[in-house]
Structure 1
Amino acid sequence: MTSTRLAGKVVLVTGAGQGIGRGTALALAREGACVALAGRTVAKCEAVAAEIGAFGGSALALACDVTERTQIESALAATAGRFGGLDALVNNAQTSVQRLLAETTFEDVDVCWRSGPLATLHAMQAALPLLRARGGGSIVNFGSSTAIDGNAAFGAYAMAKEAIRGLSRVAAREWGRYGVRVNVIVPNALSPAAEQFAQDDPERFRKLTKTMPLGRLGDPEADIGRAVVALVSDDLAYLTGDTLMLTGGA
């Protein structure tokens, strides 16, 4: 069953085949939004689309490598063509590289840059005319606590994630006149990588979660996806240029 909270809204989510992207897509669809699921592995997006269809939601799976600008533009055009427009963009896709700073290569920085801030910029630019045509809308980008905290071995990734936050603040100031809100979520969620970590080293994972004030990692749908729903809806219509720290207090 779906609600009608976001009925009539059209949202594109990148990296929607797993983890936070999947959780976000499910949360949006349960609230009545039509959701375009973009990802490099289209089979994963098709599986999520099938989940959404099973509870009566509407979804479109799209093959999209966000490092290729033309593919981002094609995904947005396909979304508008299928659903009649665009009301929100969720830039979730991002490649992560973990390597000590002294050993970080140009290739490490390049892949994080192209899949993160550059892809986010390209998607935002391509989405702007579509959002303006609907009288405004919401863009949700993703930062990382590893960048804010300066965690070891995340140099290239941290650079990319903080660039996204800076880009988002500028866009919020420039595009507010069009009714377009731009915000960032910094999540701490049970991603596929975190699930693998829990399987590989359950004791260390247990100790890690025990140090967190809420004692657990966030659920991709219930904790992160529902926050995206709030940003896309009118509930947080006066919030822009800001960062939501959804880290369970960590």
Structure 2
Amino acid sequence: MERGTRLAGKTALVTGGGQGVGRGIALALAAEGAAVVITGRTESKLKDTAERIVERGGRVHTVVGDVGERGDVDRMVAETVREFGSLDVLVNNAQSSVQRRLEETSYDDVELTYRSGPLATFHAMQAALPHLKTSRGSVVNLGSSAAVQGEATFAAYAMAKEAIRGLTRVAAREWGTYGIRVNVVCPAALSPAAEAYFAAHPEKAEHVLAGIPLGRMGDPEADIGRAVAALVSDDMVYLTGATLMLEGGRTLIG
């Protein structure tokens, strides 16, 4: 993909950047000139993404850690600033998922999705705030169309993702005075997790695709990543507190 300059001079931190949508976002941000820090629990996945960024001429740093641990989150932010000198863009992408019917969902299921989702997002936003104030930066949090629509078997996941949307709206109001923008994207992308799920549930894949007006799942980099790159650029400087449904029209109403 041809390199751009919309994010030249900016530094982005992407949690869960080793695979799937997180990888696509990291690649797209780097392609627009941002220095990118990617985090995750699996070093080999981070290394693979980092190699792709370097091959394209980008700058990248990796941090192994678990967003469910506050100390790890603080370290991710600190290493970002130490490595590149600033923090302009925070993308909270990492999230564990559990799928069970509501009556079968346990407290542990809910605790896992909350610790890796809204609590991790909350901790990262708090840790990043002093740096985002300086840069008048941008936060992108990941929501889910499954949560917006209330899809069956997604109880714990939907609770976590809708909590993130609520947190985003509060932050947009409170942090606007600092010039910080905070938005949500809800992607529908063919990530490794989605591919595995659809392979195990072909009838579900057929149903999902039939409900997408554009007729396909999104590409993590070309469709989701490039949209996030545009969102955090100066092209979208007047947008905050919004939810962008990057899912091919799947949640159209009416």
The alignment's TM-score, normalised by the length of structure 2, stands at 0.95
CA distance in 1: counterparts of 2:245 and 2:201, whole angstroms: 26
Residue number in structure 2 paired with 1:180: 180
CA distance in 1: counterparts of 2:173 and 2:205, whole angstroms: 40
Residue number in structure 2 paired with 1:90: 91
Matched, 1:159 2:163: no
1:35: how far off?
0.2
Q: Summarize the alignment of residues 231-246 of structure 1 with structure 2, pairs less than 5 Å apart.
A: 231-246=231-246
CA shift in 2, pair 1:203/1:118, >3 Å: closer
CA distance in 2: counterparts of 1:124 and 1:169, whole angstroms: 13
Residue number in structure 2 paired with 1:60: 61
Q: Secondary structure at the match of 2:236?
A: coil
Residue number in structure 2 paired with 1:197: 197
CA shift in 2, pair 1:149/1:126, >3 Å: same
The amino acid across from 1:246 in the alignment is L
1:42: how far off?
1.8
Residue number in structure 1 paired with 2:129: 128
CA shift in 2, pair 1:85/1:172, >3 Å: same
CA shift in 2, pair 1:166/1:203, >3 Å: closer
RMSD: 1.2
CA deviation vs aligned residue, 1:60-82 (integer Å, no higher than 9, x gap): 11102000011011011101001
Residue number in structure 2 paired with 1:169: 169
CA deviation vs aligned residue, 1:91-120 (integer Å, no higher than 9, x gap): 000000111111111100100110000000
1:5: how far off?
1.5
1:207: how far off?
5.0
Q: Secondary structure at the match of 1:226?
A: helix
Residue number in structure 2 paired with 1:101: 102
CA deviation vs aligned residue, 1:18-37 (integer Å, no higher than 9, x gap): 00000000000011100000
CA deviation vs aligned residue, 1:46-67 (integer Å, no higher than 9, x gap): 1100000001000111102000
Moved over 3 A (4+): 197-204
Q: How many residues matched?
A: 249
1:189: how far off?
0.7
Residue number in structure 2 paired with 1:27: 28
The alignment's TM-score, normalised by the length of structure 1, stands at 0.96
Residue number in structure 1 paired with 2:248: 248
Identity rate of aligned residues, in percent?
61
CA distance in 2: counterparts of 1:148 and 1:203, whole angstroms: 22
Residue number in structure 1 paired with 2:114: 113
